[in-house]
Copies of this chain bind each other. A is one copy, B any other.
Amino acid sequence: MINPFFTNKGPFSIKDISSSLNIPIKKLSNKKNIKDVRDLFSAEKNTITFFYSSKYKYLANRTKASYCLTTKNLIYDLPKSCYPIVVENVLISVAKITEKFYPNSIHDEFDVTCKDINETNLSKKVRFGYNVLIGENVKIGTGCFIGHNSIIEKNVQIGKNCKIGSNVIIRNSIIKDNVTILDHSVIGKKGFGFFPNKNKNYRYPHIGIVIVHENCEIGCAVSIDRGSMSNTEIGRNTFIDNQVHIAHNVKIGANCSIAGQVGIAGSSILGNNIKIGGQAGISGHLKIGNNVQIAGGSGVIRDVPDNKKVMGYPAKDIRDFLKDNK
């Protein structure tokens, strides 16, 4: 994944990594040759990756990473070019290493870099309301409106002709042309991702961003969290109603319609031309095909193939649901 916004503090040596994880690594070296942390697929030479479940064996086999955080019983599925680092809990170790590379990705305090828009160059370019604040590294195209009390925090790119409402907060996001965002929405905050720990849960970094493609409309009081290891994306011309919650790493295709109070849990991937009725929920890590229709109030807990209409909880074929519930 490309990280346009979070500064990579690497490269690090394997010795640095070893001491961060507080584990001994046999093949120690001081050479600062590890330049990034990546998933198995996008990893390149001189990056470190992670492999925690045999269901990713087919990706592990061909990873180009030089190092891999993994468990004892998985090391044989890695290619020779990839040096395994056996750890007790792969995901916690990934979190620690990611935080080492991208320390700024873990904190989401209010943006102290913000200034009154009148003190920035954008004041000549953008139509804006009272009390608009702009953070570091913000770019906004021509023809945009930014409503009262809205805060465009650091690391945001907004395209042309976008209409941002009032009391909106955006951070770590790319908003493409002709996008409308209504009042009270929050886009680009860290997702609900952490490892449970009795005294203090361990938060993992969110180095992904949110990308909202052209012509989208986002309603009032919508929350769209940024991704952890990948991005959260809303496809072009997708319309989202009020009070919808879209969790980290979710990817939604083009021309979708998502009604009020829908919730989509982390890492689910939705195709194009999908219609979702109000209050429906989609569990995490699912794949929803193109042209799918999900009735309002449904709870989707399994993948849905292309062109299917589903209803109920758990959601099933709409004809079966209506037959069973006459």
Q: Which residues of A contact B (CB under 8 A)?
A: 108-112, 114, 116, 127, 129-131, 133, 145-151, 163-167, 169, 178, 182-184, 186, 189, 192, 194, 196-201, 203, 215, 217, 219-221, 223, 225, 237, 239, 241-243, 245, 247, 255, 257, 259-261, 263, 265, 277-279, 281, 283, 296-297, 299, 301, 312-314, 325
Chain B contacts for A225, CB-based, 8 A:
242
The answer on a CB contact under 8 Å between B260 and A296 is: no
The answer on a CB contact under 8 Å between B130 and A131 is: yes
Tell me the minimal C-beta distance from A321 to chain B in angstroms: 9
Given A110-B147, A265-B259, A299-B279; A223-B243 close (CB under 8 Å): yes
The answer on a CB contact under 8 Å between A245 and B243 is: yes
Residue with the highest number of chain B CB atoms closer than 10 Å, among A129, A277, A296? A296
Given A110-B165, A186-B183; A219-B198 close (CB under 8 Å): no
Chain B contacts for A108, CB-based, 8 A:
163, 165, 182
Q: What is the oligomeric copy number? A: 3
A260 contacts which of B110, B237, B245 (Cβ < 8 Å)? B245
Kindly state the separation between the CA atoms of A201 and B313 in the bound complex, as whole angstroms. Answer: 30
Kindly state the separation between the CA atoms of A165 and B242 in the bound complex, as whole angstroms. Answer: 20
Kindly state the separation between the CA atoms of A109 and B182 in the bound complex, as whole angstroms. Answer: 8
